[in-house]
Each structure stands twice: as C-alpha cells, then as structure tokens.
Structure 1
Amino acid sequence: MPKNRPYLFYELTNSVCSTCLQKLEAKVVFQDGNVYLLKRCKEHGPEKVLISTDVEYYKRCREFIKPSEMPLRWNTPIKYGCPYDCGLCPDHEQHSCLTLLEVTDQCNLECPICYAESSPKRQTWRSLEQIKKMLDAIVANEGEPDIVQISGGEPTTHPHFFEILDMVKTRPIKHIMVNTNGLRIASDRKFVQRLATYLPGFEIYLQFDSFEEKALKELRGVDLREVRKKAIDHLNEFNLSTTLVVTLKKGLNDREIGKIIQYGLNQKAVRGVTFQPIQAAGRLKDYDPATDRLTLSEVRQMIIDQSEIFQNEDMLPVPCHPDCLAMGYALKTEDGPIPLTRLIDPDILLQGGRNTIVFERDEELKSRIFELFSTNHSPQTSALSLKQLLCCLPLVHAPEEIAYDNVFRVIIMQFMDAYDLDVRSVKKSCVHIAHPDGRIIPFDTFNLFYRDEKEERLKELQQI
C-alpha cells in the first residue's frame, strides 16, 4: 500500500539557501497544524523552516489581497530575476507604502541586535546632497509618498538633522516619521519642543522593547528603562505623535506584548504599537534562528491572548502585503478603547468600494465614526476612509471629537530573511529603503543583498 507523506503539499515558491543565498525552489507544506518552507541546496543540504503556526490564518492571507498599486516609475530592469534585480524592478507588485531614508550609519548605541550594524564606531553620514538625491528618487517614484521614515543608524546624531527635516517637510510627503532610540528625546527637552513644530503629519517611531532590565540589556546592550520613561514624559508634554516599536525575541520579551499595548493606550502621545520579530540580518549576538525566531502568526496569537482589547477578528492581514503585515485599530473613547477592525466588511474592502460597517452600538457613535472615515472626504480635511486606513497609512486628521489622537493601531510587521524568504511574498513588499544611488529596495532584500559590502556577494549570485 502506498505510503503518504507526513505533510500536505500546499504550493511551490522560490526561496534562497540560508547559507549561500543561492535561489532555490521551495515547497510550502502543512504539517501538524503548522506551515513550513521546505528547500534543498545542492551544496548545503535541506532546510525546514517554520513560517506559520496557524494554517487557517495563512490560507486567509491568500484571500486577503487587493489589486497591486504601482509606483510612477521603475528603477531597475528585469535581468536576473527576483530577488536579484532590486529595485524597484517592473516585476515588483507593490509601491512604497513606507520608505526608509537612512541618513547615517552612526549610532549612539551598539545594540547586540541591529540589522544595519550601526554603532558609535561608524562615523559616516549622508551629505545633504546625497539625501536630496534619495528624497528626489522617493518622490519621483511615488508622486506624493505616503510615509517617509528618517532612519539610520540613529538619525538624531546627524549634524544637519533639522535641515534634513526641513528638506523632507518641503516635499509632497503625506506623513513623516523619525526612527529613534530615544536617547536625545529623553535628555533634551528643547529638542523635543522643536520636533513638535513639525506637526501635523509628523511622528516619532520610538524603540520600546521591554520594561525589564534583562531584556533591554540583551537586545540593546544597556538598561534603557529610565531613558524610555523620560522620553515618553517629553513626548506626552508636547503631545508629539508616537509609535512604540517593539523588537521581539522568542522567550525574552514576547510575554510583555499585552502590557506594552496597555501602556501605550494610557499615554497621551502614543498612537499605536508596532511589533517586529527579529530579522536574521546584520548584527545578531546571542541569537539562534532555529530557536529564537518568531512568526507573524505567533505574535498575532500573543496579542489576542494577552490583550483585553484586540481579539481574533481584530487582527487582520493588511491587503497590500498580507503575509508580513497584520493590523488592528481601536478608537480611544472616555469609556475605553473600542476595536474598529472587526466592524469592516472585508469583501467590500478588498473590492475597493465603499466600506460596509456593521454597528451594534448607538447611532451617535455610528455617525461619528462615519464622519471620521467618510470616503467622500476633501483634500483639505485629509480624513481617510477605512479602506485607506487598513493599508497601513497612519494618517487621520478628522473632526475634533474623533481626531488622529483618538485612533490607536497595533501592527505586526515581519521582515523576511534568508531562512523564511518567499520570493512570491517579496514581490508584494511595501516597506522599502532608499539606496544612496537612487534605487528603492524592499527592506527584506536590502538587508540580505544590498547593504554595504553585501552587494559584492550579490554580483557573484547574479552570475550563477
């Protein structure tokens, strides 16, 4: 009698060998309630990588898609095939929802885990001329970019930091973020006061990994608890819109997810929390990808288990890149937060039409929320429809009673690495990094192939 395989074969894709980065065929299989990527390198042998702990959610992501939104132009030709042609090449399937503008390699910390391998030892900054070129490339690609995030290294160490902000602010960019470890925000109140002058459409993306000394020292090398407290105090004082960004490591700080969400809800300036499982790229001290990796589905379940607000129907795939992005929204009210995501009819959302919302609450609330998320908004009000909101754009300027201050979002943002890279999914990546030469490259592939000296290795792979 024929013997069955121990798994269910679901689909075929392409990946890379985690050792040599050579492109390989890969099977996606279901086994014991989990989803795995199976691949084999002729030189380095087979690999079995866990990519999801929730088969039903994984399959739902395949249904939660929308028509691809293209950039206004392409930056590179198709020559070697994905992921060796970044970018963006004409084979990519998503424009830039968020583009990182890295202005320096220098940092005032030397975190044991850093995808950019930044440190105080790296004393290189992008010149204003280089930054102008990178910004011009972002605008040329997008016309009116949704989000540009100023990053590094630690961008606040750049000697011309405010000149860079002015340069970004004068361009037709809808929303500006500054990605920071918060050291300067904690120590310099006047610096924060000046940052607040860039509101509205400006936000701090604040590193906020844990409330515990052990976890902070393992991830950041130092105990940052007091720094975080002072930073939040300054941000609350000026009501400077802030997202708390949590780098997650399995067994280290993942049990704090619910506590961090609740903390964020209690802070005047905090508009949401983003959870980012560690991407196996760059500097990775004391990190074993076999035991320390977290999948999006695991983080999603932890949010559901630990949060008193966000439940299963509240954490949905984001249609532009459903494999790697999940999102839940809540409305902050005097009576506590009200989950919003569950009120959306996903079929209407994905069809691109007017959203159907089912309300079991009073008509006044219904009226207020529809006013906030009306699809018939004017450019002057810049209010967003729910359809736009769920495409990870944190841009809500609405009537006084329901403003950006009242909307709270929880996002899971997973970046693929050499272990779980799925070329099918890479093509949908919408978080990109501006290369100094003007290319716009997906975050996932940038850190694998295009950062610093890694491009030399890429040239070898392109010839295989």
Structure 2
Amino acid sequence: MPTRPYLFYALTNSVCSKCLVKVEAKIIFQDESVYLVKHCPTHGREEVLIADDIPYYKQCQDFIKPGEMPLKFNTPIKYGCPYDCGLCPDHEQHSCLTLIEVTDRCNLSCPICYADSGVQDTFPGSHQPRRHRSLGQIEMMLDAVVANEGEPQVIQLSGGEPTIHPEFFEIMDLAKSKPIQHLMINTNGVRIAKDRKFCDRLSQYMPGIEVYLQFDSFSETALLELRGADLRDVRENAIANLNEFNISTTLVVTLKKGLNDQEIGKIIDYALQQKCVRGVTFQPIQAAGRLEGFEAKRDRYTLTEVRRSILEQSPYFKPEDIIPVPCHPDCLAMAYALKLNGKVIPLTGLIDPSKLVEIAPNSVIYEQEEDFKSKLFELFSTSHSPVSSATSLKQLLCCLPMVSVPEGMTYENVFRVMIVQFLDPYNFDVRSVKRSCIHIVHPDGRIIPFDTFNMYYRDGSVSVESVGSVGR
C-alpha cells in the first residue's frame, strides 16, 4: 500500500483566509516542517507553514500547563470560538498583557499597520473619523481590565500613536490611579525624539512604566517599506533621550522575511549597549490591517524561523536558552539574561524546563550557582526598578520561577529577548487562540484576544454573527 508523504500530528479548527469561515484543519509534519492544512468548501485547499522546526514545535506542547482564569467573563458562549470573544468562559487564559488604544490617530502612516492608523482625518475608503478617545471612555476601558484582573499585570497604552493624544499625561495619571502593576507606552518614538521636555515629564512616572519603542531596522530601505519614512535619526534621538532619563525601554522589531530579518543580531548587539534598553521583542508581521506590499506566501515569518535567526546571528544564546512561554507556547518564546561587567549571562537555559511547567504561583527555584542566591524576585520583574510594585515575570507570563541574584543588582542588569507571533487568518488555530494571553479592550469594554480582534472585531466590517452561523 502507498503511504502518505507526511505524518499526521493533530486535528484542530482554523478559518479560511479568504472568507474567515471556520473550517476543519489538520497539523502535519512534512519535509522537516510543520504545516496547517485546511479546506474551505468555497475556496478550496490551503496549506500554511507554521513552523520550520519539528522538535521545537513538539517541545511547545510539553510546556502547556493549566491556564489562569480572569476574575469574571464578559460574554456568553453562543457560536463557539472565535465568534464569542469578550472574554467568553471557553477561553483558557486571563490577560497577561492588555492593550488599550487611546487614539486612532498617528503622526505616521506606516505601510504596515495592524490598526490602519494614520495622519489622515478619516479611515481610507470610509467616512469614519479617526478620533482621540475621551478620558471618560479610556477610564471605562481601564476599569473593564481591572474588573477582569483585579490588579492587571501589564496594561499597554497604544493606538495609533498614544503620545500625540492631547491629554496624554492625564491618561497617565488616570492609569497610575488604578491598581495596575506595570504600564507600557507603545510608541513610534517621534515625539520622544523631538521633545526632551516630554521625556523629562514621562520619567517622573517611574518606576513601573516602560516604553515599547518601535525599532525595525538600521536600513533606510527597510524603514521606507515598513514605515513610509526614513526614521534612522528619529530612532537615534529617541534612544538618546531615553538613555538620558534612563526610562526603561523595550525595542520592538516588526519582522518581514527577506527585508530586515538579517538585522536581528545587529539589533540585539545595539540594544545591549544602551543603558535604557531592557530587551528586544521580535514580532513577525501579522496579516491584519494595512498591508501594503505584503504577500502572505512570500513574506510570512514563523516564530521558529525567528528563533533560528536569533541563534544564528547572536552569540549570546543557545537553543536551550530560547524557550516556549507556558501560557501560550505556540506564539510566545523568550530568553532571559543578565548583563554583568560587560558580559551577557543567559538564565533561562539554566532552569530545568520541567520545573518551569510544574511550579505553582509564588514558588521559588534557586540556581545552583552560588552567585545567584539573593534577590531575583525583583530582578525578574517587568518594573523599572526592584522596589517597584510591578509583578514578577513569572506572574506576568505565567511561567518563569523567581530566582535570586547578587546584592546590588537592579532592573538595569536584566536583558530579555522575546518572540511574539500573532495568529491571523493564515495560521489561525482555535486550539491555540483559546490560550491567547495578549488581549485588547474593545471600545465597548469587552476584552478580546489580539489575534481575533484584528480579524473580526476591529472595525465591524465582518459580521461575526453571519460568519459564525456559516462556519457552524
């Protein structure tokens, strides 16, 4: 009997990338890669690469552990995932990080933008205006997260470009008045680069804040393709101001295969030289929003490909150092390290992976090295300093234990590398999206996974009810 040219691994549900109807899908191993194979009655067969590293993909399944629920759910189960978002009781994970978009407006019009933000007054192709949200609406959205989480671990102010909101510091005051453990500002850095007084005032909110700075490339060509502008001077000036005021910063790199993926190691090296930078987050493009010049088959970049590039381009990390994050291992990977006397010391590879999954909240594992025997509870925080009220990274991402480090260590000695891959109509997997822990607040107060928000809920252009009824 003939045999199939692949190994069947699992059955799941996905969606057709063209009509977004839910379809049955299978995960297969073929040619040392992992594919999602699905069939839409209308649009036919579709095969999508979801990983180019079978052992790592299988390792991700070993990192899964029971999810942590929010304090309340917001919507009932009616049509089934992904048509009931809000969060519904069928979702497996609370909000580790929640985005609040304070404005639709931006001071750039990037060719790649999941939110379709821009400098124009209205969204293209419609008369819907781009607006700054009011303080009242923003407070309602903050309160929705607090109601779900009690003390939200991380809230990220986003947009559009949040720093151009005319009441930006009133928003900061409002957020700081809530029981939020850590606050991030997702920014393109234009105002930070041009307005030193703005940076000075922003620094007054430390500890417990962090700038999530767009930092895609050192190349004019790549920046023009991704951002529509040569932002090299903007990035340099923004980092100079953030260094001056020592505002904790994460560099966020939107990756497009064949465009800026060869700069991964260079960006890590640059980040390690900056006083203010605590790490780098690499995000492959999500097929959502404005996607000028993006072709899914050509430009898609998987988490395992990013991981491989980090290992090939950076001398600091070995395969055991870049591990899945148990709250959502399909889509999140990370490496943690210490910067000590000019050296980079990876930490995650020192921890037994089985212990990462087994430990309960607030458990402590101590490294065997005697040098790591005092105070890493604070050091593994996402806060600006060890005395901040921010949560530990273990609590933030439901995964890492707290380990101890030498006296005198501060958050400035932490360096983290993360890979964040969002699901989209191509790689969508219901089994995976149920574990999503990066969520966004809908203007009506629902808490929605970032992945499904950009597919169904952002602008209301797709009727969830109609697609859901057909998909069933």
TM range (shorter): over 0.9
1: CA distance between counterparts of 2:116 and 2:435?
A: 26
**Alignment partner of 2:137 out of 130, 133, 150:** 130
Pairwise CA RMSD of aligned residues? 2.2
Evaluate the alpha carbon distance shift between residue 50 and residue 371 of structure 1 in structure 2; reply closer, same or farther with a 3 A threshold. Answer: closer
1:358 to partner: Cα distance: 4.7
Instruction: For 2:349 and 2:265, locate their aligned partners in 1 and report how far apart those are by CA, in whole Å.
Output: 19
Which residue does the alignment assign to 1:55? Answer: 54
Q: CA deviation at 1:385?
A: 6.2
CA contact (8 A) 1:7 1:31 kept: yes
| Residue 224, structure 1, aligned to residue 231, structure 2 | yes
In the alignment, the residues of structure 2 paired with residue 222 and residue 16 of structure 1 have an alpha-carbon distance, to the nearest angstrom, of 34
Letter of the 1:430 partner, please give it.
C
1:408-437: per-residue Cα shift (whole Å, max 9, x none)?
100000001000000000000000000111
1:147 partner letter = V
3-state SS of paired residue (1:66): coil
Partner residue of 2:21?
22
Superposed, 1:136-285 pairs within 5 Å as 136-285=143-292
After superposition, the C-alpha distances for 1:336-392 in whole angstroms (9 at most, x for unaligned) are 111011111222221125454554x5x2x12246575699xxx97758667447647
| 1:413 pairs with 2:420 | yes
Question: In 1, Cα distance between the equivalents of 2:66 and 2:104?
Answer: 36
Indicate the residue corresponding to 2:469 in structure 1: 463
The farther-off stretch of 165-174 and 118-127 is 118-127
Q: What's the counterpart of residue 323 of structure 1? A: 330
Paired position in structure 1 for 2:126? none
2:11 paired with 1:12: yes
**Could you tell me how far 1:463 is from its partner in structure 2?**
2.6
CA distance in 2, matches of 1:313, 1:136: 39
Q: Judging changes above 3 Å, is the alpha-carbon distance between structure 1 residues 84 and 162 closer, same or farther for their aligned structure 2 residues?
A: same
Gaps of 5+ in 1: none
Deviations 1:420-455 (A, max 9, x none): 00000000000000011110000000000000133x
CA offset digits 1:98-129 (Å, max 9, x no partner): 00010110000000000000001143111111
> Residue 37 of structure 1 aligns to a residue in which SS?
strand
* C-alpha separation in 1, matches of 2:230 and 2:441: 32
Separation of aligned partners in 2, 1:401 and 1:258:
29
Inter-CA distance 219–393: structure 2 relative to 1 (3 Å threshold)? farther
The reply to whether residue 79 of structure 1 matches residue 86 of structure 2 is no
Of all paired residues, the percent bearing the same amino acid is 64
8 Å contact kept, 1:149–1:176: yes
The aligned residue for residue 429 of structure 2 is 422
| Aligned counterpart, 2:373 | 367
Secondary structure of 2:373's aligned partner: helix
Q: Secondary structure at the match of 1:463?
A: helix
| 2:71 is the counterpart of 1:65 | no
Deviation at 1:136? 0.6
| Aligned AA (1:463) | S
Deviation for aligned residue 1:231: 0.2
TM-score (structure 1 length as normaliser): 0.94
2:459 corresponds to which letter in structure 1?
A: D
Q: Quote how far apart the aligned CAs of 1:399 are.
A: 7.9
After TM superposition, the structure 1 stretch with the greater mean CA deviation from structure 2, 51-60 or 117-126, is 117-126
* Cα distance in structure 2, aligned partners of 1:69 and 1:311: 30
Q: 1:302 maps to what in 2?
A: 309
Letter in 2 for 1:117: D
Ranges in structure 2 where 5+ consecutive residues have no aligned partner: 122-129
Specify whether residues 399 and 192 from structure 1 end up closer, same or farther in structure 2 by C-alpha distance, changes over 3 A only: farther
Distance change >3 Å, CA 33–CA 71, structure 1 → 2: same
